[in-house]
Amino acid sequence: MRLHELFDGLNQIVEDPEIVSLQLDSRAVTAGTMFCCVPGYERDGHDFAGDAIESGASALLTERPLGLGVPEIVVGNVREAMAPAAARLYGNPTAKLKMVGITGTNGKTTTAYLTRALLEGGGMRTGLLGSVHEIIGGHAKKSLRTTPEAVDLQQSFAEMVAAGDVACAMEVSSHAIRLHRVDAIDWNVKVFTNLTHEHLDFHGDMEDYFDAKASLFRSGGGAAIINVDDPFGRRLAEELGSATTVGVDSADADLRAEVVATDSRSTLFRVDGVEMRVPLPGPFNLLNAVCAVAAARQLGVDYEQMEQGLEHAEVAPGRFQPIDCDQEFAVIVDYAHTPDALDNALRTARGLADGRVILVFGAGGDRDASRRPLMGASAGAGADLVFLTSDNPRSEDPASIIEQIGSGFGEGGARMEVVIDRSQAIEEALREATAGDLVLIAGRGHERWQEIAGGEMIPFDDAAVAREALTRMTS
């Protein structure tokens, strides 16, 4: 595609090279690439423009003139200009897919997996983009981030179309919205799950966080599905006026689900007089399920097809995942890493446990520290015994993070133990458990690596560590 075809208002330019790809990383540039000079938090892409040209870049997308001898498109915001250019380069692939975007603090991953299962039950081959996996043409690979950069997104959508996918369920992070990664997507359905304390190191306060999420829905295009059990969801639904509202507790929701029965592995629920079983326990997962049901219904899937889809639904790894090694107590691994998510996981655990709830968790370093004492308060109120341990400490001292969590613990309630080594903490929690107890290992879920000082990544899988410890205990 010629350079002028990628951007509006560029019908006449002196040089009009053929552009075969867009790149943000100068190391990935080859002949025919347009290098996008994205200003980052630590590095500025403009500083690498010369390297990109040496590697064969044919043009630059930049926020200031650089005069390096190749055509330059100078714009006010490279990220904002990059998204529609990438969509054009790949032939506007989202116009050929039924696109479902799911945003919210908690539940995005589970809702995306369930939405994909329901759409496939309706005969739609469906791709998936999210924090755990990217699934294209039925083939899964590990995701690098929740919502990729616009260039990578549009390439993935084009690959879905080429592989025969007709729909896509994807997670949409607030960072992606603010950084224009999801601009130029032709949405069919947008889903709001909830909004709780998270990412305030990026957004500053809850109002900016809400505004970022809400802007996805304000941009027009696509039907809105809003969880009105959540106060921010109710506020958004009232602002939009035309949303389909869903809930469990809200009697005025357009689509309301109710629990029929639940156990440690599934929930039987009723919606619109139809009973369906989702392979996950807990009321928060029921809200995720009803969001997915509403999205699938919007795209023409009937309830009989949904039932069939849920029968074969793949559960997202690390989302209230049971670990079964024939032990006499329950073990659950969950990604809960915010105060609200931890509250929900502990309430569900309490409802499933015949005995005590034993919790293992920590908090990530170099992230919003204000949530740490809030999580400590949730742990102290919701568990009987808590092992405070390391999560992904990154550049911070794990002991300092644990101290901040413990400051919110309060008096009474749960007993607290500090075991900094996470493997040891998991094993001690499992050895403490007796028949009828439930051990909840929270915070990392699906993650397979632990990030420590110096950016070093060491292999660490909560589920695998738990299985190994249980095997040693029972052998």
pLDDT of 465 reads 98
Please give the backbone phi and psi of residue 175, each rounded to the nearest 5 degrees, phi first. Answer: -60, -45
**Residue range 444-472: mean pLDDT, rounded:** 95
Domain residues for the domain of 54 are 3-89
Rounded-to-integer distance, Cα 222 and Cα 187, Å: 5
Q: Say whether both 72 and 145 belong to one domain.
A: no
Domain end among 311, 344, 365: 311
**CATH code of the domain in which 225 resides:** 3.40.1190.10
Query: Is residue 312 very low, low, confident or very high in pLDDT (cuts 50, 70, 90)?
Result: confident
Q: Say whether both 157 and 274 belong to one domain.
A: yes
Residue 69, SS3 per DSSP: coil
Report the mean per-residue pLDDT for the chain: 94
Q: Cβ(42)–Cβ(54) under 8 Å? A: no
pLDDT of 410 reads 80
Q: Say whether both 429 and 306 belong to one domain.
A: no
Residue 42, SS3 per DSSP: coil
pLDDT of 412 reads 63
Rounded-to-integer distance, Cα 52 and Cα 33, Å: 9
Rounded-to-integer distance, Cα 174 and Cα 208, Å: 10
Residue 358 has pLDDT above 90, yes or no: yes
Distance from chain centroid for Cα 64: 34
pLDDT of 397 reads 97
Residue 12 has pLDDT above 80, yes or no: no
DSSP state of 39: B
Other residues' Cβ atoms within 10 Å of the Cβ of residue 96: 15
**Residue range 165-172: mean pLDDT, rounded:** 98
Please give the backbone phi and psi of residue 389, each rounded to the nearest 5 degrees, phi first. Answer: -145, -175
Q: Say whether both 364 and 381 belong to one domain.
A: yes
Q: Say whether both 184 and 284 belong to one domain.
A: yes
Q: Say whether both 189 and 106 belong to one domain.
A: yes
DSSP state of 319: S
pLDDT of 455 reads 87
pLDDT of 11 reads 52
Show the tokens assigned to 278. Answer: 């989702």
**Residue range 411-419: mean pLDDT, rounded:** 87
Is 448 part of a structural domain of the chain?
Answer: yes
**Residue range 415-426: mean pLDDT, rounded:** 97
Query: Is residue 416 very low, low, confident or very high in pLDDT (cuts 50, 70, 90)?
Result: very high
Q: Say whether both 115 and 24 belong to one domain.
A: no
**Residue range 197-211: mean pLDDT, rounded:** 84
Q: Which residue has the tokens 């101290």?
A: 403
Rounded-to-integer distance, Cα 20 and Cα 1, Å: 7
Residue range 401-410, pLDDT digits in tens: 999 999 999 8
Show the tokens assigned to 126. Answer: 């469906």
Residue range 29-87, pLDDT digits in tens: 999 999 999 998 889 999 999 999 999 999 999 999 999 999 999 999 999 999 999 99
Residue 14 has pLDDT above 70, yes or no: no
Least confident range from 133-137, 229-233, 283-287, 435-439: namely 283-287
pLDDT of 10 reads 64
**Residue range 313-317: mean pLDDT, rounded:** 87
Query: Is residue 212 very low, low, confident or very high in pLDDT (cuts 50, 70, 90)?
Result: very high
Rounded-to-integer distance, Cα 323 and Cα 333, Å: 7
Q: Say whether both 113 and 198 belong to one domain.
A: yes
Other residues' Cβ atoms within 10 Å of the Cβ of residue 399: 12
Q: Say whether both 359 and 294 belong to one domain.
A: no
Domain end among 89, 118, 153: 89
Q: Say whether both 159 and 233 belong to one domain.
A: yes
Q: Cβ(192)–Cβ(103) under 8 Å? A: yes
Is 85 part of a structural domain of the chain?
Answer: yes
Is 316 part of a structural domain of the chain?
Answer: no
Residue 134, SS3 per DSSP: strand
Q: Say whether both 84 and 98 belong to one domain.
A: no
Residue 187, SS3 per DSSP: coil
Q: Say whether both 268 and 350 belong to one domain.
A: no
Query: Is residue 220 very low, low, confident or very high in pLDDT (cuts 50, 70, 90)?
Result: confident
Is 367 part of a structural domain of the chain?
Answer: yes
Q: Cβ(271)–Cβ(256) under 8 Å? A: yes
Domain end among 311, 333, 352: 311
Show the tokens assigned to 334. Answer: 């969950």
**CATH code of the domain in which 431 resides:** 3.90.190.20
Q: How many domains does the chain have?
A: 3
